[in-house]
């Protein structure tokens, strides 16, 4: 990812983080997210080419500043790929996920107990937090999707639907992520989706 796209991604992250901060302010104690809570760190989820580029850049930076921790992340990713490859709902070599309704159905039931390799099992913290994928950045507060409003099951306990809706987070109102992703894919030829384990296991 070249300097221009890195700058645009930095702009995107600022927009999303600002939206998260506002959602957290509105949610107050209803938002249970805190360091050491790993509810959203277990079970794989799809990431796009922009997430991959950001994660790998973060891992390379970690390799410079803390080589041992970077080695541990890579080791966990490779071990995860070893466990997941046999039943992977996609290409077990490249890590690219299959597309289509049947593939989505298989993925929904896939490896739901597998921890993210970026998660430090001793501290319960993310070793690549500043470079985390977009899904991680918006998990917790109420976010609208095609299925309706999604919210972490640990958050907003005992609240009404109206209270949840009042705290809705709109992470990227201008659709900047999609614009950056389209440019990245057109420039690099990278496309499709994978998961964090394959992304980091193949990082160089």
**pTM of the shown model:** 0.92
Q: What is the pLDDT of residues 101-111, one digit of tens each?
A: 999 999 999 99
Q: What is the pLDDT of residues 110-152, one digit of tens each?
A: 999 999 999 999 999 999 999 999 999 999 899 987 778 888 8
Q: What is the pLDDT of residues 71-102, one digit of tens each?
A: 999 999 999 999 999 999 999 999 999 999 99
Both structure tokens of 84: 């997941």
**How many CA atoms does the CB half-sphere of 135 hold within 13 Å?**
17
Number of domains into which the chain is organized: 1
Which residues, including other chains, have CB under 8 Å from residue 127's CB and lie 6 or more apart? Answer: 62, 69, 72, 73, 118, 119, 120
What residues make up the domain containing 66?
A: 3-201
Q: What is the pLDDT of residues 144-198, one digit of tens each?
A: 877 788 888 899 999 999 999 999 999 999 999 999 999 999 888 778 999 999 9
Both structure tokens of 145: 């999707």
Instruction: Please give the full DSSP string across 87-118, using - where no structure is assigned.
Output: G-SB-TTT-PBP-SHHHHHHHHTS-TTPBPTT
């Amino acid at each position: 990812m070249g300097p221009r796209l890195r700058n645009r991604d930095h702009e995107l992250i600022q927009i999303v983080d600002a939206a998260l901060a506002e959602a957290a302010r509105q949610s107050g104690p209803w938002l249970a997210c805190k360091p050491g809570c790993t509810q959203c760190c277990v079970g794989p989820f799809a990431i796009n080419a922009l997430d991959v580029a950001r994660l790998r850049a973060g891992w390379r930076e970690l390799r410079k500043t803390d080589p041992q921790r970077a080695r541990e992340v890579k080791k966990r990713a490779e071990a995860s790929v070893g466990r997941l490859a046999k039943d992977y709902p996609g290409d077990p070599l490249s890590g690219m996920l299959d597309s289509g309704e049947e593939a989505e159905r298989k993925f929904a039931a896939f490896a739901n107990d597998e921890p993210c390799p970026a998660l430090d099992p001793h501290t319960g913290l993310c070793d690549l937090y500043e470079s985390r994928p977009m899904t991680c950045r918006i998990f917790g507060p109420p976010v609208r999707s095609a299925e309706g409003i999604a919210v972490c099951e640990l958050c907003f306990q005992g609240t009404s639907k109206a209270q949840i809706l009042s705290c809705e987070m709109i992470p990227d109102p201008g659709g900047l992520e999609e614009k950056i992703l389209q440019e990245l894919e057109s420039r690099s030829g990278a496309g499709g989706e994978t998961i964090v384990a394959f992304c980091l296991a193949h990082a160089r």
